Amino acid sequence: MLSSIKSNVLQSESKKLAMMYFRVAIILFGAQLLFGLLAGLQFLFPGFLYGILDFSVNRMVHINALVVWMLYAMIGSVYLMLPDETGIETVGIGLGKLAFWVLTAAVTVVVLVYLLVQVGPGKESTIWLINEGREYLEAPRWADIGIVVVVLIFYWNVFATYMKGKRTGIMTVMVANLMALAGLYLAGMFFTDNISVDQYWWWWVIHLWVEATWEVFVGTLAAYALIKVIDAKREIVEMWLWIEVLMLFGSGILGLGHHYFWIGTPEYWWEIGALFSALEPVPLVAMFVHVLYDWGKEQGHTEAKGEKSAIKNGPAMAWITTNAFGNFLGAGIWGFFHTLPQVNIYTHGSQFTAAHGHLAFFGAYATILIGMMYLGIQEAYGIKRMKATFKSKMAIFLITFGVLGMAVALTIAGYEQVLVERAELGAGWQAFFTAQNLPWYVQAQVWREIMGLVTFVGFVYLLIDLLTIGKKEAAQGA
């Protein structure tokens, strides 16, 4: 992928910009895993890097790198699909490139401040120059404002291109969803001295992003990717996409009710929230199953005529398939289990939450974004049919196995926390530290670290594959 900077055959400036976003995204993905491994080690050896790179800093970089690499990959995916869906070059592409460099420079400065300065005094200057202290959205205020400007430029490019070119169902949903996604970020811009009010607004950004707009966003990418990879019928994928939008009001907004248990709202919200949050990934899985069923019938007719059929991008298809079922398992089933009020009263904020977070973010978002990167490489090298290599297979196997392993290990650690810390010892401060040192918890954290290493090895395979598969496949096809 990096080598395609000079050797790619892309004619579209929008697709070239997409590859620029993908390159930064994969670097940040690696950073997320590295800092996650460091934070995991500090669960086992609390004194490791103490005073140099504390757990709080490692965890902050780990989580923020996750959010930012996904935003980079999302923006890249949109720039990749815009020319295909609208039939024209992206409007304002020069401004889009300027925004990319501004965003990348800002992210670099923010990361350096996180690592070199780390914390500041409880003053306004800390909020403006170091970090705002909001989990997942720790960027300092100047970067916060910069992100809004960059996103406004991005949205203008998408909206203007949509208005000027073809208006497919996929793009209509995309444009409407991006407005909600960008608008929700503004809710997190408020800052008040009242921590409860501040957290209330932060909470809406994070949860309506992840449980509503990001889910619909993934639906548009899956719809586009299935058309590109297996020639899925547009009417089928767009039908399920509109159902996803319809369910947004139920699964996305009402689904938030599973958090209301903690803010004193009436009890009926518990069941409403648990039920609807579990329904979030259903339309995406249904879209995938319907498309595969229809594709299978078409392939049967094709082969009956003696014609050869094939998937146009093997690695992308593998990641899209993982997305469909990973989303259902991580966000749906695991989320439903964890957010039931009868369960959540004990598990909220424990390692159960971390297990759900790892599985849901990977299954619902990381998988489809990696698939989009493979689609970008295919276009960058002008490859008609791209097959999975040994490294492609090792990457998806090791990363998936590693993340599943981490989720299981964290679940075991969470079970011990719930049983000892909360049920037996009363959830006090001393109970927390007692539970942290018991064998089941420590052994689970050891396995979490081992599975984290497995994930990182898978990432190395993925990185090498992204760097080499395009050149190799192009040479074989020449």
Q: Are residues 58 and 33 in the same domain?
A: yes
The predicted pLDDT at position 194 comes to 81
Contact 4, 374 (CB under 8 A): no
Task: Give the residue from 124, 156, 188 where a domain finishes.
Answer: 156
Q: Are residues 115 and 220 in the same domain?
A: no
- Is 163 a domain residue? no
- Is 4 a domain residue? no
Q: Are residues 149 and 192 in the same domain?
A: no
- Is 161 a domain residue? no
| 155 has a pLDDT exceeding 60 | yes
Q: Which of 3-12, 32-41, 104-113 has the lowest mean pLDDT?
A: 3-12
Residues 103-124 pLDDT 10s:
999 999 999 998 988 888 888 8
Q: Are residues 109 and 255 in the same domain?
A: no
The predicted pLDDT at position 2 comes to 57
- Is 120 a domain residue? yes
Q: Range of 379's domain?
A: 312-477
Residues 206-250 pLDDT 10s:
777 777 788 889 889 999 999 999 989 899 999 988 887 877 666
The predicted pLDDT at position 164 comes to 96
Q: Average pLDDT of the chain?
A: 88
Q: Are residues 339 and 449 in the same domain?
A: yes
The predicted pLDDT at position 211 comes to 72
- Is 3 a domain residue? no
Nearest CA-CA partner of 66 in 32, 18, 94: 32
Q: Are residues 30 and 147 in the same domain?
A: yes
Write b or e for each residue in 292-303: b if 16 or more Cβ atoms lie within 10 A of its Cβ, otherwise e. Answer: eeebeeeeeeee
Mean pLDDT of 97-102: 95
Task: Give the residue from 107, 130, 156 where a domain finishes.
Answer: 156
Nearest CA-CA partner of 92 in 160, 2, 167, 46: 160
Mean pLDDT of 195-210: 76
The predicted pLDDT at position 249 comes to 62
**Between 169 and 210, whose confidence is greater?**
169
Q: Are residues 83 and 175 in the same domain?
A: no
The predicted pLDDT at position 6 comes to 57
Q: What is the DSSP letter of 123?
A: S
Q: Are residues 264 and 333 in the same domain?
A: no
Q: Are residues 358 and 220 in the same domain?
A: no
Kindly report the CATH number assigned to the domain that includes residue 447. Answer: 1.20.210.10
- Is 6 a domain residue? no
- Is 305 a domain residue? no
Q: Which of 145-159, 284-298, 329-343 has the lowest mean pLDDT?
A: 329-343
Q: Are residues 235 and 321 in the same domain?
A: no
CA distance 74 to 163: 21
Task: Give the residue from 156, 188, 213 where a domain finishes.
Answer: 156
State the pLDDT confidence band at 317, using cuts at 50, 70 and 90: very high
Is the pTM higher than 0.85? The answer reads yes
How many separate domains does the chain show? 3
Q: What tokens appear for 120 in the block?
A: 């500041």
Q: Are residues 219 and 271 in the same domain?
A: yes
Main-chain dihedrals φ then ψ at residue 309, nearest 5 degrees: -125, 150
Q: Are residues 189 and 263 in the same domain?
A: yes
Contact 403, 36 (CB under 8 A): no
| 271 has a pLDDT exceeding 80 | no
Residues contacting residue 410 through CB under 8 Å, at least 6 positions apart? 351, 352, 354, 355, 358, 444, 448
- Is 85 a domain residue? yes
Q: Which of 47-56, 138-147, 437-446 has the lowest mean pLDDT?
A: 138-147
State the pLDDT confidence band at 62, using cuts at 50, 70 and 90: very high
